[in-house]
Amino acid sequence: MRRLLLFSLALGLTMPSYASFNKGNTAGNLRKQASWTNASSVLQNTVQGTVRGTDGTIAGATVTVIGTTTTTVTDSNGKFTINAPVGAKLRISFVGYDSKEVAVTGSTVNVTLDETSDQLDEVVVVGYGTQKKEHLTGAVSSVNVEKVMGSRPIPDAGRGLQGAVPGLSVVIPSGEVGSDPIMKIRGQVASIQGSSTPLILVDNVEIPSINMVNPNDIETISVLKDAASSSIYGAKAAFGVVLITTKKGAKTDSHTITYSNNLSLQSPFKPVDVAGIDGLEYTLEAHENMKASGPAGGFWRVDRESFEKIKEWQQKWGGVVGNQDPVLYGRDWYYKGNEKFGLRIYDPADLMVKDNAFSHLHNLSLNGKTGNTTYNIGAGYLGQQGMMKPAKHDDFTRYNATVSVSTKLNDFLTVRGGAMYSDGTKRYANSATGFGADPWLYLYRWSRLFPIGVTEQGQEFRDPYTDTKKAHTGYKTERYTNLNLGTTIDIMDGWDIKADYAYSTENNSRKSSLPTMTGRTHWYQPVVWNDENGNRVYVDENGIPTDNGGMEGWEFPEENYIKKETSNVYRYNLFSKRHTFNAFTTYNTKLEGGHDLKFMAGTNVVAFLWENESLRRTNLINNDNPQFNYATGVQENSADTNWDSQAGFFGRANYAYKDKYLFEANLRYDGTSKFPSNLRWRWYPSVSAGWVVSNESFMQDISNVLSFAKLRGSWGSIGDQSVPNSLYVPTMDLDRYSWLDGSGLPFYELGTPGNVRPDISWQDIEHLNVGADFRFFNKVGLVVEWFERKTNHMIIPGEALPNTAGASAAQGNFGNLRTRGWEINLDYQHRFDNGLGLTVNANLADAVTMITKGTDWNTAWDDRRLSTSYSTGRRYGDIYGYVTDRLYQKDDFVYDASGNHEKVTIIHEGNAKVTNKLAGDNPVYQTFFEDGNGIMIMSPGDVKFVDVNGDGYITSGNSTNGDPGDRVVIGNSTPRYEYGFRLGADWKGIDVGVFLQGVGKREIWGAGQLAIPGFHVKDGAMPQAIAGDFWKEDRTDAFYPRAWNLGGANEGYVMRPQTRYLLDMSYFKIKNITVGYKLPENALRSVYLKNARIYVSLENFFTFDNLRGLPIDPETISGSNATLTSGNYNLGRTGTGVPSFKSASLGIQIGL
């Protein structure tokens, strides 16, 4: 009864508010107003609740009372409070989750949202703005940063992007810590003279290296791949853009502290298996096959007698003598006939390569919002040990700090500011032989008879291990600072103006020193071993000195191999500053009838200045304190400075009609300081359009199957000015000679000025893109792209000038280049009724580049040389070589009654050579490769080629297109069919992720001893994969030919570029496996934690390739190590750098 009275009272009190009277009211109006007043609208009550997702509570979710303007957002704990009548419906929504509607039945509503399987509502960051994915008409790929990089022990975002984006090629050529990955978008080359690398932007400001960005600070990554999406950034975006947006403040009033770490152990992902006894047998066989006199080998000799003794040594001492036990004459080596012979097998990989190198990552951040102010503060630390075991220091450390603050001063004005700092230092053992040939090269160079890491009579040898151990530590430091200020002016709803200024600096330095070094040298002849009294020492077969008899003792001399005048101290410093100003205005409006319009116009100005200096002084007098004050020798110094600037004015217009017909147009007017004043400014347009077919009425009948379908295309042109800024300015080099004039001053010489063209101008990069986006059953997504990119007016040298001209031909806009390719991306996302969530993402891409007009464009097709790298009409990266048939066997030859080869004289093109007679009616002879002296003569175990042109001989012809001989295209050095596959699953707090990545096709003709059989047999080192599988009379089914010595060349005799020994660099890697567990929220409340997750991760653990056991990373690029040298690293030899590594790690993620 009491409840009825209270209800009646409440009803009476609320009636006037809904049916108030005035003079215009009539009884009819009163009835109309009173008719919608009911009990449920009267019982307004306060509803409280919590919104959760698959990963816990959701902060910033929007809660709306349907049919009203009442709305709120959840706080940092996912909680909300809203006024809603009983019976009303609430709509709860959040980006990345399916919206949900629930009825109000009381004062508490708790909701769990499911991750969306419809990615069309996703907002993608594009140039100077954002767009719904559904409305994109250009080629843009967005990256889920958390899923791609969240639990991986990666030092930079570039490594995390490998395999994640179709069309983005990321190559990690070695295990050098602190190195940058090599990134390319849609093809490996886009300009001969200029760059082919994408523009990397962090919050619209160019950054010199992606290694300077802490992955933990990244909110989103978008990859802009065509002109329609990237042209808004102008000339530097000609080859695509990697657009990084850092984390900003929270959306709701909250304060959240997060901490995460990762602790990992790293070891080589492949064993460094340098041949021992089998390698020595190869050396012997090669020596005998080449009919050489004396013992085999170079600095250390081996013959059949010593080879047998080596095997005996292994049986007797192999498990007794330790790898670093002292060297004993008589036991480990002996001297005979002015030649030294080794018996002991050393293990250089065990001494040089560190196993279980430690790496750790730590990140701490504070993110929140207070009133109208949002903020994000982050700090990160990376410590990563390198793989060089004997170095005092081989590591990379990086400190990162970021600050971002934004305040809305009023309804019209928002101001923001931020700072980013990165401080990375690479410490390394400064090579005594330079980085054209550092200790890693010598690990793979010398025979395992070479002593390494050992002593003789207490004195160390000169070897890669000792050189590294004695080396001073070198430092390479790169510091980057970015300070930025900006404002947003909200003129009216849908119209704003944004302006940002950034000042960024680089302060890079390198310092190193080379001390004097002394050690025993075993390269040349030993000396007589006398005791301290000058008496000759005799030893027994165990190397123990004897008083009576034994063999005469020998020892190696001590040498000061890095002399005082060679020792030095070195410093290098570079300072740069960049000013970046961006200002643009955006206007959005919606017109009746389904017309959506968006306009944007702005300007971008960049000014860049750098200067450097280097200084070296020789003759260190204090090895322990290498300072310039303690160096008294010759001083060398140099310095340079340069500047360039760009300015652009741009505009963009977007139009959508009923979400079915989409159109976008961009226009940019670009200027650069790199070209003559009359050629500095150019207009660059781009257009794109899309048709959302699934929004047509005739598609509705199949909408439950084909949820979304969009066809789109784009065309655009962007200027490229990534070339030296002095191409149109003739310069003369000033050189100083060591000669002195009568006054004691050095002579100087001005070089000949180079030829230039005053009309040199922009390279025009023209993009064409056609794409289609589909979603099936609202769960399966498919994106297909076809693209073409042309480099028009490419800068290449002109026609060659005669030598009397005194300088090379001037470069001009003479060339053209074209890249075509395609991309496919497939995604699937579903959550089952039992709570199991499943996500799948797969991508595949390919690109082929043709030189449509190269340096030989004025030469007839038939006369163009095969050796020309950028030959007109040729595919970039093509490798010409012979087609291998098989290895010759004994029954391929004719023998006399004594079992000796019958000889025959073959005359081809006027050259007569005596060779071994082949069996059969019409045999194909290969005398082209023979020397005619009976040494290089085809024999069993040599390579037999296919007579491609059918003329009965194997030759190289004239090495032109018209006469290539028997050579054809046998491979291509560019990565083809790059793919990635990611599988993720989660259930009740447990998550599992597996990431697979690979390259379907890539070939190279290798360089050096790890790739070329018989490369330098006298040096002695080779992979066990070669030494254990070369042809000999008792192993005729071998893969590699009979042993031969190429004397340090990458090709010779029958080891020419050919199909059989071309390195197949395709690979498949299980790049990452992660298993994590998120602790339940109720278990965390007692310790005041918002969330906590622990995980284990395996990175780069499983690799499958086609290299037949060679210790080469299939990602390697011969001669590449930009971290330590910009030149030909380790003589350009394949795989002779820092071993790539795998890692196992453990990490935690905590939120407070």
Q: What is the CATH number for 156?
A: 2.170.130.10
Number of domains observed in the structure of the chain:
3
User: Token match 């260190």: residue?
Assistant: 620
User: Token match 């660099």: residue?
Assistant: 1065
In sequence order, which residues have a C-beta less than 8 Å from that of residue 898 and are 6 or more positions away? none
Position 858 in a domain: no
CA 232 from chain centre, in angstroms, equals 25
Please provide the average confidence, as pLDDT, over all residues in the chain: 89
Residues 167 and 232 in one domain: yes
DSSP classification of residue 863 = G
Is the pLDDT at 117 greater than 80? The verdict is: no
Is the pLDDT at 1093 greater than 90? The verdict is: yes
In sequence order, which residues have a C-beta less than 8 Å from that of residue 199 and are 6 or more positions away? 206, 230, 233, 236, 237, 239, 240, 241, 242
Q: What angle do CA 574, 578, 582 make, to 5 degrees?
A: 165
921 is in which domain, residue-wise?
Answer: 883-966
Round to whole Å and give the CA distance between 423 and 397. Answer: 8
Position 100 in a domain: yes
Specify the range with the lowest mean pLDDT, choosing from 216-220, 713-717, 804-808, 853-857.
804-808
Is the pLDDT at 1144 greater than 80? The verdict is: yes
Residues 73 and 189 in one domain: no
Specify the range with the lowest mean pLDDT, choosing from 40-49, 82-91, 137-146, 512-521.
40-49
Give 11's pLDDT tier (boundaries 50, 70, 90).
Answer: very low
Residues 219 and 125 in one domain: yes
Residues 168 and 100 in one domain: no
Each residue's pLDDT tens digit, 1012-1040 = 999 999 999 999 999 999 999 999 999 99
The answer to whether the pTM exceeds 0.95 is: no
Ranges assigned E (strand) in 516-565: 517-520, 527-528, 538-539, 545-546, 551-552, 554-555, 558-562
In this predicted structure, what is the pLDDT of residue 443?
Answer: 87
CA distances from 761 to 197, 264, 454, 732 (A): 20, 50, 60, 22
Residues 139 and 245 in one domain: yes
Buried b (16+ CB within 10 A) or exposed e, 767-786: bbbbbbbbbeebebbebebe
Position 192 in a domain: yes
**Residues shown for the chain:** 1152
Is the pLDDT at 1125 greater than 80? The verdict is: no
Q: List alpha helices for 787-840, DSSP H.
A: none
Residues 107 and 220 in one domain: no
Which tokens sit at 512?
């190193």
| Strand-pair category, 837-853 with 62-65 | unpaired
Residues 167 and 106 in one domain: no
Residues 48 and 140 in one domain: no
Where is the domain boundary, 940, 966, 992? 966
In this predicted structure, what is the pLDDT of residue 19?
Answer: 37
- Segment 818-839 mean pLDDT: 93
In this predicted structure, what is the pLDDT of residue 15?
Answer: 41
Each residue's pLDDT tens digit, 961-1011 = 999 999 999 999 999 999 999 999 999 889 999 999 999 999 999 999 999
Where is the domain boundary, 250, 278, 293? 250
Is the pLDDT at 92 greater than 80? The verdict is: yes
| Strand-pair category, 168-171 with 182-185 | antiparallel
Position 75 in a domain: yes
Each residue's pLDDT tens digit, 263-279 = 999 999 999 999 999 99
- Segment 87-101 mean pLDDT: 84
In this predicted structure, what is the pLDDT of residue 1126?
Answer: 64
Residues 128 and 143 in one domain: yes
Residues 934 and 907 in one domain: yes
Which tokens sit at 131?
């767009």
Is the pLDDT at 783 greater than 50? The verdict is: yes
Round to whole Å and give the CA distance between 292 and 303. Answer: 12
Round to whole Å and give the CA distance between 347 and 204. Answer: 51
Where is the domain boundary, 935, 966, 997? 966
Residues 160 and 240 in one domain: yes
The CATH number covering residue 52 comes to 2.60.40.1120
Position 209 in a domain: yes
In this predicted structure, what is the pLDDT of residue 508?
Answer: 95
Is the pLDDT at 889 greater than 90? The verdict is: yes
Position 945 in a domain: yes
Round to whole Å and give the CA distance between 142 and 441. Answer: 40
| Strand-pair category, 878-881 with 780-797 | unpaired
Round to whole Å and give the CA distance between 931 and 1. Answer: 119
Nearest to 238 by CA among 256, 222, 225, 253: 225
Position 231 in a domain: yes
Residues 193 and 148 in one domain: yes
- Segment 312-336 mean pLDDT: 95
Position 661 in a domain: no
